[in-house]
Structure 1
Amino acid sequence: MTKAMTNERRLQLEQYLQQIVSDPVVTSSEIFMEYFKKLQMDTFNMPTVQLILRIYMPDGAAVELDVQTSDSAERVLEAALFKLGVSRELGEYFSLFITHKEAKGPFTVVKRIAGFELPFLTIWNLEDDQFQIEVRKWYMNPSNDAMLMGSTEAIDLLYLQAVQEFQMEWTRPTKDQQQKLQHCLKQQNKLKFLELMKTVEYYGYLHITSCTSDYPECDSEVTIWVGNNEMSCHFYSPGGHAENLRLSIKDLICWNVTLLQPKKQEVMSPNHQHLELKFDYQQGSSLKCITIHTEQAFLLSSCLKKMLSERPVHRCKEELEIQVDKATCKSNIRPEQNGVHAKKQALLKDKREYCVVDNISDLDL
Structure 2
Amino acid sequence: MHICIPVTENLVDNLGGCYVLYSVYLEGFIFFKARYRDLHSWDEQIRGIFRNRIPTFPPKFYLAMTKNMAEERRILLKQYLRDVCSDPTVSSSEVFIAGVSKFQMETAGMPSRDVNLKVYLPDGRIIELQSKTSDTAERVLEVITFFLSFKVLTPHPECVLLLQTSLNKMNVSRELVEYFSLFITRRDTNGTFLVVKRVVPFEIPFVTVWNINNELYQIEIRKWYMTPSNDAMLMGCPAAVDLLYTQAVQEFGMNWSRPTEEQKTTLRKLIRTSHHVKILEYLQTIEHYGYQRMDPSVSDYLNANTMVSMFVGNNELCCTFKLPDNRTETMNLHISKIAGWDALLHQPDKDCDQQEFKLGFMKENVLTWVTIWTNQGFLLSTWLKKISSEQPVTPAKENLEIEDNGTSEKPRKIKIVDVTTK
TM-score (norm. length: structure 1): 0.79
Residue 259 and residue 17 in structure 1: after superposition, are their counterparts in 2 closer, same or farther (change >3 A)? farther
Aligned counterpart, 1:182 = 268
Paired-residue identity, %: 47
Residue 10 and residue 246 in structure 1: after superposition, are their counterparts in 2 closer, same or farther (change >3 A)? farther
1:160-214 deviation digits (Å, cap 9, x = unpaired): 0000010011111001100000111122221221111111111111100131111
Given residue 96 of structure 2, which amino acid in structure 1 is its aligned partner?
F
- Alignment of 1:229 with 2:315, yes or no, is yes
Aligned counterpart, 1:59 = 123
Greater CA drift, 247-256 or 113-122:
247-256
Q: Is the 8 A contact 2:296 2:310 kept in 1?
A: no
Residue 323 and residue 95 in structure 1: after superposition, are their counterparts in 2 closer, same or farther (change >3 A)? farther
Shift, 1:323, TM fit: 7.4
Shift, 1:291, TM fit: 1.2
Residue 227 and residue 301 in structure 1: after superposition, are their counterparts in 2 closer, same or farther (change >3 A)? same
1:298-335 deviation digits (Å, cap 9, x = unpaired): 11111000011111233xx85xx97768x9x9xxxxxx
Shift, 1:67, TM fit: 1.2
Shift, 1:282, TM fit: 2.8
Residue 49 and residue 137 in structure 1: after superposition, are their counterparts in 2 closer, same or farther (change >3 A)? same
Q: Is the 8 A contact 2:353 2:373 kept in 1?
A: no
Matched length: 317
The one of 330, 342, 364 equivalent to 1:256 is: 342
Q: C-alpha root-mean-square deviation of aligned residues, in Å?
A: 3.0
Shift, 1:261, TM fit: 2.3
Shift, 1:8, TM fit: 10
Q: Distance in 2 between matches of 1:28 and 1:63?
A: 25
Q: Distance in 1 between matches of 2:288 and 2:354?
A: 27
Q: Distance in 2 between matches of 1:205 and 1:15?
A: 32
SS in 1 for 2:303: coil
Aligned counterpart, 1:74 = 138
Shift, 1:148, TM fit: 0.4
Residue 323 and residue 184 in structure 1: after superposition, are their counterparts in 2 closer, same or farther (change >3 A)? farther
Q: Is the 8 A contact 2:342 2:398 kept in 1?
A: no
Q: Distance in 1 between matches of 2:386 and 2:102?
A: 27
The one of 123, 147, 150 equivalent to 2:233 is: 147
Shift, 1:285, TM fit: 3.4
Q: Distance in 2 between matches of 1:160 and 1:51?
A: 26
Residue 36 and residue 166 in structure 1: after superposition, are their counterparts in 2 closer, same or farther (change >3 A)? same
Tell me which structure has the larger Cα radius of gyration: 2
Greater CA drift, 216-225 or 233-242:
233-242
Q: Is the 8 A contact 2:92 2:202 kept in 1?
A: no
Given residue 186 of structure 1, which amino acid in structure 2 is its aligned partner?
R
- Paired residues for 1:210-225 under 5 Å: 210-225=296-311
Shift, 1:258, TM fit: 0.6
Aligned counterpart, 1:36 = 100
- Paired residues for 1:82-93 under 5 Å: 82-85=146-149, 87-93=173-179
The one of 280, 305, 312 equivalent to 2:392 is: 312
Q: Distance in 2 between matches of 1:284 and 1:195?
A: 36
Aligned counterpart, 2:213 = 127
Aligned counterpart, 2:42 = none
Residue ranges of structure 1 left out of the alignment (5+ in a row): 330-365
Q: Is the 8 A contact 2:356 2:372 kept in 1?
A: yes
SS in 1 for 2:386: helix
Shift, 1:128, TM fit: 2.0
Residue 22 and residue 212 in structure 1: after superposition, are their counterparts in 2 closer, same or farther (change >3 A)? farther
Given residue 390 of structure 2, which amino acid in structure 1 is its aligned partner?
E
Aligned counterpart, 1:294 = 374
Q: Distance in 2 between matches of 1:200 and 1:77?
A: 30
Q: Is the 8 A contact 1:259 1:273 kept in 2?
A: no
- Alignment of 1:268 with 2:354, yes or no, is no
SS in 1 for 2:101: helix
Q: Distance in 2 between matches of 1:204 and 1:56?
A: 19
Residue 15 and residue 229 in structure 1: after superposition, are their counterparts in 2 closer, same or farther (change >3 A)? farther
